[in-house]
Structure 1
Amino acid sequence: MFKIQGSESCCNSSEHVVTPVPGHSALVLSQAAAPYVDSENGISFWGITDAAHGVTYGHVFPPLATSGAQPTEYIGEIVAPVANKWVGFSMSGSMISSLLIAAWPNNGNIVFTTRYATSNVLPDVYTGPVITTLPSSHVNSTHWKWVYRCQNCTTWKNGGSIDVNSTSSVPAWCASTIAVDNPANPATTMVQHTDFGFYFFPFGTAHVSAALYNNWAAGGTGGTLNLLLYNFPSARNRRHWRWLLIIDHHYQRGPTNTNGNSVMILLQISSFSAHMLLSVDYIIVGSGPGGIIAADRISQAGKSVLLLERGGPSTGETGGTYQANWTKGTNLTKFDVPGLFESMFTDANDFWWCKDITVFAGCLVGGGTSVNGALYWLPSDNDFALSAGWPSQWTNHQQYTSMLKARLPPTDAPSTDGKRYLEQVSTVVANMLIPQGYRNVTINDSPNAKDHVYGYAAYDFIGGQRGGPVASYLRTAKARKNFQLQMYTNVLNVVRNGSQITGVKTNDTSVKDGFFPLNPNGRVILSGGTFGSARLLFRSGIGPTDMINLVKNDPVAGPNLPPSSQWINLPVGYNAYNPSINMVFTHPTVDSYNNWATVFTDPPAADAAQYLKNRSGIMAQASPRLNFWSALGGSDGTTRWLQGTARPGAASITTTLPYNMRRSNLHYNRISVVGIKSRGRIGINAALNGVPLVNPWLNDAGDKSALIQGLKNIISTVPQVSGLQLIMPDNTMTMEQYVAAYDPSTMNSNHWVGSNIIGTSAGQAVVDVNTKVFGTNNLFVVDASIIPTLPYGNPHGHIMSVAEQAAAKILALAGGP
């Protein structure tokens, strides 16, 4: 939260749990903030204890007003082990333009500071709040506790505020193991926090009566605990669900206040969705496209499903709240508006990217489908062919692709008015391709046509908003009582006894050892993505020995490994696949939309207004405008295919040639080659972060020559298009020099596949034809990592078709629940 340099914000997916801490008794309900009572002062808080550092953050508000202004204050507490030199939080979940509060111990006292920042630098001291330290605050040899009243703390300057009536707010916490520079001075400088995260907090339910609040605010103790709960399953479903309700025995007897009088604990069953599913038929890890579709189809079959997501919400319907200022007052988040796609890569508050994977990976509900450009190509027959590495049992994909298309129809005109916007780039690129023999097609009407064709970009947007599996499959799954989505739950490893998986271990310390068990014959499905699922296998003793030994040497993860006699040696991490390269052109007719630089903070007013009115216009479409394909020969006789994406502008440009950015006359192509032989390896480092170990880019001579030829083909007709100029590569480089000098780190198209490849042999593959991990009885993988080669189009649609087929195969497999 507090920092001096860099661009990281205080918001990121992390661990958010409620557990008993010294001097506390916790009432545990879920991963979100839950009610608990501080046994020293009798105050009923709502809060969490973050699993990584053991710090409790609690808050309670005065009663909501029936009319007029809502409360502007609350009572809070922080209880922290002394290893935490300072901790802090942002009730709005953001570092920038938000009230920030931090505290630390000094000579037996608590020092606190209020700060405010307008950019990612050390926040300034902010004098608006009035904070009073309450009597039960103290420092001892193991912990320090700060209990305080915070007045004028729900609103702050520049119109910032929290909604104290909200039931889906996402505050942020941060902690540091590095002391502030001058502990006696609240205005001290300090270095960036060493960890941070955020969590769900139902502000609207964390209110008590005026009598209770005023008593506590004046330093009094004792009171009533309100437990709010709903959606208790009916008797006919109880075989699927087990509920956890823990009340410390001290409170069942009744604690005493400072006057020695007994305090009654009153449990009031009311209306808050805070339930926990403990033992289920299926645990699915990761809410990307594979996990969501598998969860929907399996719960549709009547099985109980727990879907665990390490990150938080995305779109408004999932509880997301991260909005552009121009969308305030709507339910539209950054992830809902298609035109904000390019800003995913330029926003300093990029909490949606996984911070422990060194390439782009989405850690939030929807995974990559909530942050990508949503290009949506229905797979071709060749995408599932034997020649593409698929087992024969998978070649008949049409019925599953048809199921996908029925649930989620593609569109190449996403604006609700049926018009296409910023289409100048489509005309220019088409004029370059037509002389080369390309023809115009509606691409998803002819999925098998992938040679010398071009067409308008197609998406899975719905009604001018981001659609994808979140707005389709997840929506129907959430309506079922046998389905539960739990966010902010980081699965660390599967728990297994030899070949049998018994459940998963998580960061959720609100359950014993963070363990979520399976029902008899239950199954676990990993859907954490190409990097995430591979790492989970390593941490579960499955994969190459060098990777498992890195886990073994980790002081936290190592003890969770099964004995080495139960390790399963599979080629996890190999066969990684992901190539692309960029070219930049200019043309006087093309509007680059200022390279999308201000679409989040300050888009053209007319465009923003048009979108808000009826979900039409430029903001109803992501930046890609046209796609094209052609077959390429190779020096080795192998056919490869070039796929291109053209868009007006892009998030970043590198060129030595001048171009008129003010006149916005730029357009950009991304070129990928599929059907190639180059492969790499991914894995983990000593910190257990997901990393590429061997880059998969152009390590085959035939691949490289095919790419160079394909690029030369594209630019061969540039002179035939009046006003068209190639500026990257510029006129000082040959295409061979350009490819040779291309930075490998920028060849990442974010389309990683293949780390847990499907096949018929454990020596050559990680999962079998039913997506079950070789050597296990009940562990499966359903995500991009099982795909043997990249499909012809962006893999977005291909992954979803794979998930449809995988779910059917898993359900049909004998021995399940």
Structure 2
Amino acid sequence: MRLSLAVAAVAAYARFALAQSTQFCDSGAGNLCFQSFTDPVHGISFRMVFPTSTTATEFIGEIEAPTGVAWAGLALGGGMLNNPLLMAWPNNGALVTTARIAAGYVQPTAYTGLTLTTIAGSSHVNSTGWKWTFRCQNCTSWSGGSFDPNGTPVMAWAYGATPVFTPADPNSNFAQHDDFGFWGMVTSAAHDANYQSFLNGGGGTTTAPPTSTTTTTSATSTPTLPPAQATPYDYIIVGAGAGGIVAADKLSQAGKKVLLIERGGPSTAETGGNNIPPWAKGTNDTRFDVPGLFESMFTGNTFWWCKDTNFFAGCLTGGGTSVNAALYWLPTDDDFSTGNGWPSGWQQAGQYASIINGRMPSTDTPSPDGKLYLQESYNVVQQILKPLGYSELTINSNRNFKDHVYGHSAYNFVNGKRAGPVATYLRTSKARSNFKFLQYVYVQSVVRNGATITGVQTNDTTVGPNGFIPLTKNGRVILSAGSFGTPRILFTSGIGPTDMIQVAQKNPTVGSLVPAQSSWINLPVGFNVQDNPSINLIFQHPTVDAYDNWDSAVIWDNPRPADAAQYLKSNTGPFAGASPRLNFWQALGGPDGKTRWMQGTVRPGAGSVTTKYPYDSSKIFTITVYLSYGITSRGRIGIDAAMKGQALVNPWFQDPVDKTVLLDGLNQIINSAKQVSNLTLVTPDKDTALTDYVNNYDPSAMCSNHWIGSAKIGTSNTTSVVDSNTKVWGTNNLFVVDASIWPSLPMGNPHAAIMASAELAVAKILALSGGP
């Protein structure tokens, strides 16, 4: 098993929107009163209770699961990477338990830094499920992490529906989890004076399963604050990502009273971020500022990833633009063509591409000294591409040329640091008195009276009465919460397919916000979704410097001294750029007569290697091959009972022709690579057929996190969610401006394309009559 990247995505700080534990007093465990969280989808409960000491290093825990749960695990640090994972599963009427830890996206190995003792009298396996009660000693801190036994730390859970490979063996391997999630464990309310007396007599030898009853009370709540005064706004924009920040800037520039709401917190130093690597202490060089720290985004205490989706989504100021590799490809004219699904009136890509490039120029020499670093993989891959008829150029110098072309990766870094909309559009917005920016505020729904939106509902009572923020007369709401966040808000607001609105209606937290069924607006929210299918090819060449495979333990904790010193002195060197070094495109014809575009990204190092043959990990590099513009497969996203966004239908290879075309492109690259001296294909290795490699590719690894289409733009309310002005069908004043309106994938990574579409969308919104 390889741990999926998504398992790492957890927020360590979650003021809002994260479910919290409640009290559970267990008669089957000496009436100890635990803090308990139960996942509403699978019915698995995770519990903790501590001694009275607020600095305890141990706790008593429980995992209780119904029949059908093959295994379950509790991750102590709020993520599966570099944090202890306590696991249990039933086997022939008994429980098998283990402690594991994973340093990367690989099978977790045994963890020996703590002591686990199963409490037999409270643990059992029976016809309705199983329960593991255990004592965990030396469990509140470990190398590289800890949690507060007197606070509200974030915990993570994982669940498997497939039995582990060798159920009798506590060291057994197991398949990747089927689901996971996060919650806030209120450890401050989990200290019980009966803790020690239970241990003194609670670990007995009783074999009959005890009868358990529950007593549930409310969790410790936030003190009641004085009623907040409601401030109305002309425009309320939900989500401070590529779309929302651009929209907020353009609308505030037009003199409108604008509120921009972000559910997460700061990112770069400019926004108040202070997540600084150990080697840069005393500077303002945060993880989000330093381009070379991009690969460290996926490990450690990853508070920046959204907690309510199985896929990577940035929940912080800047959204995905603050946590991506910052590849910055100006959109082509074809991207906005009617052939790509855009309504008439959107064919102005050139004009808006020029606007965003004027404010935020691209560069393919990100180091301010003008030098290119770590170019060995670039030099090798040139030898693969040139025999295939590729030409080299500065790619953004001719944004429409995307066939048999390659060049240095283009970024929107400025002076060796991440820029993006945060350092441009948000900066100018914040200088205006008619603009307000809220962070750590979670929007649950829009509030509407029939077709008219009156404001937004949040769960922060400091921003308005009961968390409600109103609009001015004729005011408008713009959803820019992303391809997963925007549908969630629409579902809770009674907009979308009936099955998803019903899921939201049954949720105990937001169900009361869903309007009466007579007011529901039936639209295909969550359908028509696309994402680039991507496959990694890993090569070895003696000239390549894999740069320690961008291992977080190196680039974050202990980088190469000369490179760190160079960056701290002048913002130059390898840390001035993210890991990609080369990009390429090629148009590929398919047997269905349609043309699809293949995109490639080349970077030194690799995140995961699969081979039974020896290789030199210091000499490897990765070519990630995507399909982009022209793909025909579609998927569907929705929510589960916990309101967590997920893929109901994966968007990759639903049309088998997409796979046929991508295989063609991969074969071309591999066959050409055979002619390059000293170049070895490591993954897939020589014993693995390419077709088998692609057919068996892990869907979670195939995901590029370039999701589009869940609130598709169009000309009919039966096939789209928003009209040609980005207004939600059936409403008077609700709009969507983010990646979710894109009808089909653009040629390249969508960062710049989303910003260009936001520029155009705001122009259309301001031109509409009846606004504020």
Task: Bin the TM-score by the shorter chain.
Answer: 0.7 to 0.9
User: How much has 1:186 moved relative to structure 2?
Assistant: 13
Instruction: Go from structure 1 to structure 2 and tell me whether the alpha carbon gap of 1:461 and 1:53 turns closer, same or farther (over 3 Å shift).
Output: same
User: How much has 1:654 moved relative to structure 2?
Assistant: 3.1
Q: Partner of 1:112 in structure 2?
A: 54
User: How much has 1:789 moved relative to structure 2?
Assistant: 1.1
Amino acid at match of 1:175: V
Q: Partner of 2:504 in structure 1?
A: 551
Map 1:654-673 onto structure 2 (within 5 A). Answer: 654-661=610-617, 664-673=618-627
| 1:248-293 alpha-carbon deviations (Å, 9 max, x no partner) | 9xxxxxxxxxxxxxxxxxxxxxxxxxx9872111110000110000
CA–CA distance in structure 2, aligned partners of residues 706 and 122 of structure 1: 40
User: How much has 1:764 moved relative to structure 2?
Assistant: 0.9
User: How much has 1:624 moved relative to structure 2?
Assistant: 0.3
Instruction: Go from structure 1 to structure 2 and tell me whether the alpha carbon gap of 1:667 and 1:572 turns closer, same or farther (over 3 Å shift).
Output: same
CA–CA distance in structure 2, aligned partners of residues 188 and 600 of structure 1: 41
Asked whether the 8 Å contact 2:479–2:735 carries over to 1, the reply is yes
| 1:646-703 alpha-carbon deviations (Å, 9 max, x no partner) | 0001333333332112xx1000011111211111000011111000000111111221
Q: Partner of 2:247 in structure 1?
A: 294
Q: Determine helix, strand or coil for the equivalent of 1:508.
A: coil
Q: Partner of 2:467 in structure 1?
A: 514
Q: Partner of 1:648 in structure 2?
A: 604
The correspondence for 1:175, drawn from 172, 186, 195, is 186
Instruction: Go from structure 1 to structure 2 and tell me whether the alpha carbon gap of 1:9 and 1:369 turns closer, same or farther (over 3 Å shift).
Output: closer
Instruction: Go from structure 1 to structure 2 and tell me whether the alpha carbon gap of 1:183 and 1:647 turns closer, same or farther (over 3 Å shift).
Output: farther
Q: Determine helix, strand or coil for the equivalent of 2:421.
A: coil
The correspondence for 2:717, drawn from 751, 759, 762, is 762
Q: Determine helix, strand or coil for the equivalent of 1:404.
A: helix
CA–CA distance in structure 1, aligned partners of residues 33 and 768 of structure 2: 49
Asked whether the 8 Å contact 2:444–2:457 carries over to 1, the reply is yes
Amino acid at match of 1:371: V
Instruction: Go from structure 1 to structure 2 and tell me whether the alpha carbon gap of 1:783 and 1:657 turns closer, same or farther (over 3 Å shift).
Output: farther
Amino acid at match of 1:472: T
| 1:355-400 alpha-carbon deviations (Å, 9 max, x no partner) | 1101111110000000000000000111111111111110122221
Q: Partner of 2:680 in structure 1?
A: 725
Instruction: Go from structure 1 to structure 2 and tell me whether the alpha carbon gap of 1:51 and 1:428 turns closer, same or farther (over 3 Å shift).
Output: closer
Is 1:702 the equivalent of 2:644? no
CA–CA distance in structure 2, aligned partners of residues 696 and 448 of structure 1: 26
CA–CA distance in structure 1, aligned partners of residues 379 and 11 of structure 2: 43
Asked whether the 8 Å contact 1:9–1:120 carries over to 2, the reply is no
Asked whether the 8 Å contact 2:50–2:195 carries over to 1, the reply is no
Asked whether the 8 Å contact 1:113–1:187 carries over to 2, the reply is no
The correspondence for 2:312, drawn from 335, 360, 373, is 360
CA–CA distance in structure 1, aligned partners of residues 651 and 19 of structure 2: 36
The correspondence for 2:559, drawn from 588, 603, 622, is 603
Asked whether the 8 Å contact 1:12–1:196 carries over to 2, the reply is no
CA–CA distance in structure 1, aligned partners of residues 655 and 21 of structure 2: 47
Asked whether the 8 Å contact 2:49–2:187 carries over to 1, the reply is no
Asked whether the 8 Å contact 2:20–2:186 carries over to 1, the reply is no
Asked whether the 8 Å contact 2:49–2:192 carries over to 1, the reply is no
Structure 1: runs of 5 or more not aligned: 1-5, 17-49, 56-81, 88-102, 124-156, 161-171, 190-194, 200-244, 249-274
The correspondence for 2:704, drawn from 736, 746, 749, is 749
User: How much has 1:327 moved relative to structure 2?
Assistant: 1.3
The correspondence for 1:424, drawn from 349, 357, 376, is 376
Is 1:540 the equivalent of 2:493? yes
CA–CA distance in structure 2, aligned partners of residues 174 and 408 of structure 1: 42
CA–CA distance in structure 2, aligned partners of residues 776 and 484 of structure 1: 25
Q: Determine helix, strand or coil for the equivalent of 2:345.
A: helix
Q: Partner of 1:41 in structure 2?
A: none
Asked whether the 8 Å contact 2:478–2:734 carries over to 1, the reply is yes
CA–CA distance in structure 1, aligned partners of residues 536 and 343 of structure 2: 33
User: How much has 1:115 moved relative to structure 2?
Assistant: 5.9
Percent of residue pairs bearing the same amino acid type:
54
Q: Partner of 1:772 in structure 2?
A: 727
Is 1:616 the equivalent of 2:572? yes
Q: Partner of 1:387 in structure 2?
A: 339
Q: Determine helix, strand or coil for the equivalent of 1:519.
A: strand
User: How much has 1:461 moved relative to structure 2?
Assistant: 0.6
In terms of Rg, which structure is larger?
A: 1
Instruction: Go from structure 1 to structure 2 and tell me whether the alpha carbon gap of 1:285 and 1:709 turns closer, same or farther (over 3 Å shift).
Output: same
Q: Partner of 1:192 in structure 2?
A: none
Instruction: Go from structure 1 to structure 2 and tell me whether the alpha carbon gap of 1:9 and 1:379 turns closer, same or farther (over 3 Å shift).
Output: closer
Is 1:592 the equivalent of 2:546? yes
Q: Determine helix, strand or coil for the equivalent of 1:720.
A: coil
Map 1:239-278 onto structure 2 (within 5 A). Answer: 278=231
Asked whether the 8 Å contact 1:494–1:504 carries over to 2, the reply is yes
Amino acid at match of 2:334: N
User: How much has 1:733 moved relative to structure 2?
Assistant: 2.0
Amino acid at match of 1:658: P
Instruction: Go from structure 1 to structure 2 and tell me whether the alpha carbon gap of 1:549 and 1:505 turns closer, same or farther (over 3 Å shift).
Output: same
Instruction: Go from structure 1 to structure 2 and tell me whether the alpha carbon gap of 1:709 and 1:121 turns closer, same or farther (over 3 Å shift).
Output: closer
Q: Which moved more, 1:730-739 or 1:428-437?
A: 730-739
Asked whether the 8 Å contact 1:624–1:647 carries over to 2, the reply is yes
| 1:268-320 alpha-carbon deviations (Å, 9 max, x no partner) | xxxxxxx9872111110000110000000100101011111111110011011
Q: Determine helix, strand or coil for the equivalent of 1:15.
A: coil
User: How much has 1:85 moved relative to structure 2?
Assistant: 5.2
The correspondence for 2:450, drawn from 487, 498, 503, is 498
Asked whether the 8 Å contact 1:85–1:176 carries over to 2, the reply is no
Q: Partner of 1:259 in structure 2?
A: none
CA–CA distance in structure 1, aligned partners of residues 451 and 719 of structure 2: 19
Instruction: Go from structure 1 to structure 2 and tell me whether the alpha carbon gap of 1:729 and 1:247 turns closer, same or farther (over 3 Å shift).
Output: closer
CA–CA distance in structure 2, aligned partners of residues 419 and 604 of structure 1: 18
Q: Partner of 2:517 in structure 1?
A: 564
Q: Partner of 2:287 in structure 1?
A: 334
Instruction: Go from structure 1 to structure 2 and tell me whether the alpha carbon gap of 1:734 and 1:104 turns closer, same or farther (over 3 Å shift).
Output: closer
CA–CA distance in structure 2, aligned partners of residues 613 and 623 of structure 1: 21
The normalised TM-score by structure 2 is: 0.75
Is 1:473 the equivalent of 2:425? yes
Q: Partner of 1:792 in structure 2?
A: 747
CA–CA distance in structure 2, aligned partners of residues 84 and 181 of structure 1: 7
Map 1:74-473 onto structure 2 (within 5 A). Answer: 112-113=54-55, 120-121=83-84, 175-176=186-187, 179=190, 183-184=194-195, 278-345=231-298, 347-473=299-425
Instruction: Go from structure 1 to structure 2 and tell me whether the alpha carbon gap of 1:804 and 1:594 turns closer, same or farther (over 3 Å shift).
Output: same
The normalised TM-score by structure 1 is: 0.71
Instruction: Go from structure 1 to structure 2 and tell me whether the alpha carbon gap of 1:247 and 1:552 turns closer, same or farther (over 3 Å shift).
Output: closer
Amino acid at match of 2:292: G
User: How much has 1:178 moved relative to structure 2?
Assistant: 8.8
Q: Which moved more, 1:650-659 or 1:586-595?
A: 650-659
User: How much has 1:720 moved relative to structure 2?
Assistant: 1.7
User: How much has 1:632 moved relative to structure 2?
Assistant: 0.4
User: How much has 1:185 moved relative to structure 2?
Assistant: 5.7
| 1:99-147 alpha-carbon deviations (Å, 9 max, x no partner) | xxxx9999xxx75336699973599xxxxxxxxxxxxxxxxxxxxxxxx
Q: Determine helix, strand or coil for the equivalent of 2:276.
A: coil
Aligned CA RMSD, in angstroms, stands at: 3.3
Q: Determine helix, strand or coil for the equivalent of 1:484.
A: strand
Asked whether the 8 Å contact 2:32–2:49 carries over to 1, the reply is no
Asked whether the 8 Å contact 1:181–1:188 carries over to 2, the reply is no
Structure 2: runs of 5 or more not aligned: 1-6, 24-30, 37-47, 59-75, 87-142, 147-182, 201-217
Instruction: Go from structure 1 to structure 2 and tell me whether the alpha carbon gap of 1:368 and 1:183 turns closer, same or farther (over 3 Å shift).
Output: farther
CA–CA distance in structure 2, aligned partners of residues 428 and 421 of structure 1: 14
CA–CA distance in structure 1, aligned partners of residues 13 and 197 of structure 2: 26
| 1:25-44 alpha-carbon deviations (Å, 9 max, x no partner) | xxxxxxxxxxxxxxxxxxxx
